[in-house]
Structure 1
Amino acid sequence: MTWEDELFGLFDDLESQASASFTLEREAELADRRRAEYQQVTLAARLMASLDREITLDINGVGLVDGVLERVATGWLLLRGRGQDWVVREAAVSGVRGASERAVPDVAWPVAAKLGLGSALRRLADAAERCVFHGTGGQRWDGVVQRVGADFVEVAVGEPAQVVLIAFATLAAVQSRD
């Protein structure tokens, strides 16, 4: 082998090592970028990608609830369970099983998904449907929505009806009656 062959062999070897080093650095950089980007993903974005899927929610003050995820909106979601529907405040969700691996960023959400919890509760008031209201601390109120304020719901409970004001911050879920 000539000195030129040895020199070109050395250059080929160095080039191969540099290429391998670049590939390792690039893979590490891409992994860091994926981690950095994923920290921007919200629970709501993952839930939005899970529409029409059977999921299980662990709801503070309620426990495990199974159903098909029908709607996700700002601060709440609608779960259609067996024989009943659940309007769940997102902040009361402590765990989700069965969610999609994907996420839908809020800029891609439909306009109706921008409606808050008050909007869903006003629809219940319009329907005058009797519901069970679950608090995050395990409280339960059986009644009918009368009015919805900025950060609370007014519920007529019992016979004769007494009005109970339930703060959104302590409301975990609203369950339709069987």
Structure 2
Amino acid sequence: MAWEDELFSLLDDLEQQAEALYDVERGFELADRSRAEYQQVTLASRLMASVGSDVGLDVRGIGAVGGVLERVGSGWCLVSGSGQDWIVPLAAVVAVRGASDRSAPEVAWTPVSRLGLGSALRRLAEAGERCVFHSTDGRMLDGTVHRVGADFVEARVGEDARTVLVPFGALGAVQSRD
């Protein structure tokens, strides 16, 4: 073998080693970037990708709520269970089962999907339907949504239709009444 062939063979070998090292480094870099990008994924975006699926939610003060995930908005979701619907603020969700492995980034949501909890509760006020207000500490109020403020819902409860204000932060869910 001529010295030129040996030199080219050595250079080829060094080049292959450099490519292998680059591939290993690139693999670590891609894994690191993937972990870094995942921190941008929100619970709402994972739930948005799960619309139409059966999910189970563990909700603070209520326990398990299950059914078909019908809608997701900014800070809330709507689950249709056996004969009843649940509007659940995402802040009250402790755990989710059955969610999609995918995510739908909020920039891809429709303008209607970007509406907050107040919008969903205002729809209940317009409908005048009776519902059960579940608080995150386990209390329940039976009544109707009268008005919705910036960070609270005004409910009319009891036979005397007394007014009770429920802060969004204390609201575990609003359940439709059969």
The answer, yes or no, to whether TM exceeds 0.5 is yes
Does residue 1:111 correspond to 2:111, yes or no? yes
Shift of 1:5: 3.0
**Structure 1 runs not aligned, ≥5 long:** none
Report 1:120-139 matches (<5 A).
120-139=120-139
Aligned-residue offset at 1:8:
2.3
Q: Percent identity?
A: 65
User: Is the deviation greater in 154-163 or in 41-50?
Assistant: 154-163
Confirm or deny that 1:5 pairs with 2:30.
no
Give the 4+ runs in structure 1 shifted more than 4 A: none
Q: Which residue of 2 aligns with 1:31?
A: 31
Deviation of 1:13 after TM superposition, in Å, equals 1.5
Residues 62-88 of structure 1 show CA distances to partners (whole Å, capped at 9, x for unaligned) of 111111111111111111111100000
How far apart, in 2, do the equivalents of 1:149 and 1:39 lie? 32
Distance in 2 between residues matched to 1:39 and 1:114, nearest whole Å: 20
1:17 aligns with 2:17: yes
Report the CA distance between 1:109 and its aligned residue. Answer: 0.3
Return the letter of the residue paired with 1:42. Answer: T
Alignment partner, residue 55 of structure 2: 55
Q: Where does 1:44-83 land on structure 2 (aligned, <5 Å)?
A: 44-83=44-83
Cα distance in 2, alignment partners of residues 62 and 171 from structure 1: 10
SS of equivalent to 2:51: coil
Code of the residue aligned with 1:159 in structure 2: it is E
Counterpart of 1:156, as a letter, is R
Amino acid at match of 2:164: V
Q: Residue 174 of structure 2 aligns with which residue?
A: 174
- Equivalent-residue separation in structure 2 for 1:85 and 1:38 (angstroms): 31
Report the 3-state secondary structure (helix = DSSP H, G, I; strand = E; otherwise coil) of the residue aligned with 1:124.
helix
Shift of 1:53: 0.7
Q: SS of the counterpart of 2:96?
A: strand
Q: Which 10-residue stretch deviates more, 151-160 or 2-11?
A: 2-11
Structure 2's unaligned 5+ residue stretches are none
Structure 2 residue matching 1:142: 3-state secondary structure:
strand
Query: How far did 1:21 drift?
Result: 0.2
Structure 1 residue 4 displacement after superposition? 3.0
TM, length-normalised to structure 2: 0.95
TM-score (norm: length of structure 1): 0.95
